[in-house]
Structure 1
Amino acid sequence: MAASEARGAAGSGFGRGGRAGGGGRVPSGVRLAFVLPLLVGALVPHAFAGGGTRRWFGGRGEGQRAEAQAAKDAAAAAFYELDTAQRGLRISVETITAVDSSPEARRAVEGFEALGRRIDEVSHTYIAAVDAHDLDRDELDAATANRARSELARAKEELDRVKGELDRYEEGLAPLLGRAETQLARLAPAVERARQALRGASGALDSVRDGGLRADDLAARLAALGPELTRLNEGAGRHGVPETLQRADRVLRDAEAVRAEAERLPERAAEIDRRLVSLRTRTEALTTRTGGVEPVLSELRRRFTAPCWQDLQHVPEQAAATLRQAEERLAEAGKARAEQRWPDATSLLSTVRALLDSTDEAVSAAGDRLRRLDAVAKDPKAEIDRARFAVRDAQRLAMAGRSTPDPRHARPLDEAVARLDRAVDGLEGRHPDYWHFLTELEGVRATAAHVVGQIREDRGGGAQ
């Protein structure tokens, strides 16, 4: 930037072959401005002793020279202050661009570049004013001193004005800079946590293997993280801060997952062994129970009409087929366990459990059917009373606080009463269908429960 070049021209370049840091020739006036104060201490005593050769003009002229020199010093201070602020702000902008590629960040960079152009303009104006006037020249007249003072004062005002713009820009940059610094502060710890997680996963995997478990799938997942670690080691300078942070978080998460699964693997293997034993025992027990289904069906056929048992007549065959499937899946699960294919073993055991659950339900259904039919054949009144109580309870709730029930509630309850009466009437005769009777009364109770729930929901909503 021109401000930096100007700083070299105005001071730091002197003493290095007479050239500024930017490579340009330092004006003689600027060199004298910095060298003269060093010589005054040595020359003044001799001048007053009568040995000096400098021609001084006194009175008003010396005062104007001093005012011009003061203006020059003030402008120089303003210039260096602006240059220092610009240098510091450039570091902030570079910090933001290293982290943030958002439109807001791009606008901030554009604003800094625009400010840089204005800084260049006022810096050139200042340098031109300094070069135009040699305030140490013996022949400096009052008019020239006044003109130098005015130009240097105007240069200072422009430098101060742009410094104010720079300060306001810096204030607006604070949120972006804060976020960027936060991300940079996270970078090194995040990368280190990722590395530690990888070391932890590797150690857990080694421990599992020492215990005789292969964990090939976990080893493959850990190996897949190797290239990611390489990229982390290459650093944010190559891959960018946001991407490096994301990569570190991803490596940390994946490595922690591998470590956790490796640490759980011995327990998982033991659990699979327990489930294999438990499901084999359950399969044997269900095989025994299935043998008792046929006598139950014979009793149902002998004592009750066909609608009471015909949906159960295929239970023995279906249960036997399902148990054969369960035994096959158990054998496959045992093989997967021996080969340490843990996901396969777990999945197969879940399949076996589902098959046994369905078999258990079917086998139990025959015995439950016989018990329920026995009970209702002996005393249907208990089932009738349960259904009537449910309907009456719903009717009382429907009438609570009302002179007439809501049709939405009254209609299904009336239909439930009629359904109940028809079911009771169906018991008349020599061979009643007790299963139809039971299912009808279950439907009546379900209707009553639905109406009760609807009423409570409606009233709860109205209360709110």
Structure 2
Amino acid sequence: MALPVPLLAYAMTSAFAGGGTRRWFGGRGESERADAQAAKDAAAAAFLELDTAQRDLEISIETITAVDSSPGARKAVEDFAALGRRIDEVSTSYITAVDAHDLDRDDLEASVAASARTALTRAKDDLVRVKGELDRFGQGLGPLLGKAETQLARLAPAVERARQALLGASNALDAVRAAGLKADDLAARLAALAPELTKLNQGAGQHGVPDTLQRADRVLRDAEAVRTEAARLPERAAEIDRRLVSLRTRAQALTTRAGTVDPVLSELRRRFTLPCWQDLQHVPEQAAAAVRQAEEKLKEAAKARDEQRWPDATSLLTTVRALLNSTDEAVSAAGGRLERLNAVAKDPQQEIQRTRFALRDAQRLAMAGRNTPDPRHARPLDDAVGRLDRAVAGLEGRHPDYWHFLTETEAVRQTAARVVAEIREDRGAGAH
């Protein structure tokens, strides 16, 4: 769309060529020649201004297309191409007008000079008009150009940050290996970023600015993740070592504690009815099996740690901890059961009074500020009172089921607590 350099040189030479050896004649003819020459100079200046403006806008359009493929950007390119065609038309008319009139001829007639002035003035006016269209178009490019320039300004720093992140990840891996840790999975993740680095080095000219920015951000994020994990690896290895020692010690202690369950069960069987202990009778063998399984998993975890399979080691240790937790609860339940049954057999009144207090507290709250309680609260509390009375009555037999009594009182207290929570929630909602 811009005129080639030789044509520009031609236009400038045609516009500003000196008089050479021609002779000048005075009178009206010479005045017409001077006016025509002035028109020619003005047209040449307008032509050069238009060409300069077109070249400047061409750079802006190239900047936008390098970054933006949106419909708005595509329309800007199409509109610029249409303007270019109009520029070609008026430029051709200008050059034709210049070529058609030799203002340096000695025998230039006044009428020919006048005709030349008219044609050149028209060409100049057309050039100025299209220059005005070009200027308005350029002003409309402001938002697109600003966005494109912002992205281009981000490009070099983003690519550099990605490169530095890769270097940081590589250095972190070297440090980890120097400490005797393999980190093969991290090395593989870093190696997978090599093709991305190649594309970054090839530049936005080949892959486009948006894709290059996205690639740089992705490389930065992934490389930083590798660097962070590599930096944490020695600490992670030390933590796994600590957990191995701790869980081995805990497994040994549980083996010892599990041995105390049989004497507890023996006393439970001797002093209390079957319902009080039948759910615990398999605890010893279950605890022993769970501890054996935990010890096997500990061996597998230790092997995984030696082979530096960190995720496997961590997963196995989590399994060991869960096994030991469940075993600990089962073993503790047996001893706790005996303590609770001994306490209630010696003095059931403490449990009864504790439960009645919870019920009375809930009843007082249900009646607070009311003449009659809300049936939604009164009904479950009345049912709980009856449930407690039945549980107390069950203690009057020769061999009372103390465990049933304890589970019933616990259920009654839970009902009271639930009603209290509902009342407070209702009143809190009403306050709002």
Residue pair 2:248, 2:298 contacting (<8 A) in 1 also: yes
2:209 aligned with 1:241, yes or no?
A: yes
Identity %: 76
The equivalent position to 1:54 in structure 2, one of 11, 20, 24, is 24
How far apart are 1:351 and its partner, in Å?
1.1
| 2:254 paired residue number | 286
The answer for unaligned runs of 5 or more in structure 1 is 15-29, 44-51
* d(CA) in 2 for partners of 1:437, 1:132: 121
Tell me the amino acid that sits aligned with residue 346 of structure 2. K
| 1:219 paired residue number | 187
The equivalent position to 2:337 in structure 1, one of 361, 369, 372, is 369
The equivalent position to 1:264 in structure 2, one of 219, 232, 235, is 232
Against the structure 1 CA distance between its residues 434 and 114, is the aligned structure 2 distance closer, same or farther, given a 3 Å change threshold?
A: farther
* d(CA) in 1 for partners of 2:420, 2:100: 100
How far apart are 1:179 and its partner, in Å?
2.5
Task: Report the count of equivalent residues.
Answer: 432
2:18 aligned with 1:36, yes or no?
A: yes
* d(CA) in 1 for partners of 2:208, 2:427: 60
How far apart are 1:330 and its partner, in Å?
0.9
Against the structure 1 CA distance between its residues 130 and 459, is the aligned structure 2 distance closer, same or farther, given a 3 Å change threshold?
A: farther
* d(CA) in 1 for partners of 2:116, 2:366: 102
The equivalent position to 2:411 in structure 1, one of 440, 443, 462, is 443
Tell me the amino acid that sits aligned with residue 136 of structure 2. R
Residue pair 2:298, 2:320 contacting (<8 A) in 1 also: yes
Q: Per-residue CA shift, 1:384-430, capped at 9, x if unaligned?
A: 33333333433444444445444433433333333333333333322
How far apart are 1:125 and its partner, in Å?
3.4
| 2:323 paired residue number | 355
Against the structure 1 CA distance between its residues 458 and 96, is the aligned structure 2 distance closer, same or farther, given a 3 Å change threshold?
A: farther
* 1:156-305 paired onto structure 2 within 5 Å: 156-305=124-273
Residue pair 1:283, 1:326 contacting (<8 A) in 2 also: yes
How far apart are 1:152 and its partner, in Å?
4.0
* d(CA) in 2 for partners of 1:282, 1:149: 107
The equivalent position to 1:89 in structure 2, one of 49, 57, 61, is 57
Residue pair 1:204, 1:263 contacting (<8 A) in 2 also: yes
How far apart are 1:363 and its partner, in Å?
0.4
| 1:332 paired residue number | 300
* d(CA) in 2 for partners of 1:66, 1:408: 110
| 1:12 paired residue number | 9
| 1:430 paired residue number | 398
Residue pair 2:87, 2:130 contacting (<8 A) in 1 also: yes
* d(CA) in 2 for partners of 1:54, 1:177: 52
Query: Helix, strand or coil: the match of 1:4?
Result: coil
2:76 aligned with 1:108, yes or no?
A: yes
Against the structure 1 CA distance between its residues 53 and 90, is the aligned structure 2 distance closer, same or farther, given a 3 Å change threshold?
A: closer
Q: CA RMSD in A?
A: 2.8
2:286 aligned with 1:318, yes or no?
A: yes
2:87 aligned with 1:119, yes or no?
A: yes
Against the structure 1 CA distance between its residues 144 and 422, is the aligned structure 2 distance closer, same or farther, given a 3 Å change threshold?
A: farther
Against the structure 1 CA distance between its residues 411 and 67, is the aligned structure 2 distance closer, same or farther, given a 3 Å change threshold?
A: farther
Tell me the amino acid that sits aligned with residue 27 of structure 2. F
The answer for unaligned runs of 5 or more in structure 2 is none
Bigger mean CA offset, 163-172 vs 259-268: 163-172
Query: Helix, strand or coil: the match of 1:212?
Result: coil
How far apart are 1:320 and its partner, in Å?
0.4
Residue pair 2:14, 2:98 contacting (<8 A) in 1 also: no
Residue pair 1:56, 1:138 contacting (<8 A) in 2 also: no
TM-score, normalised with respect to structure 2 = 0.89
Against the structure 1 CA distance between its residues 138 and 284, is the aligned structure 2 distance closer, same or farther, given a 3 Å change threshold?
A: same
Query: Helix, strand or coil: the match of 2:328?
Result: helix
Against the structure 1 CA distance between its residues 36 and 415, is the aligned structure 2 distance closer, same or farther, given a 3 Å change threshold?
A: farther
Q: Per-residue CA shift, 1:156-201, capped at 9, x if unaligned?
A: 4443333333333323322222222222222222222222222222
Bigger mean CA offset, 361-370 vs 438-447: 438-447
* d(CA) in 2 for partners of 1:164, 1:414: 92
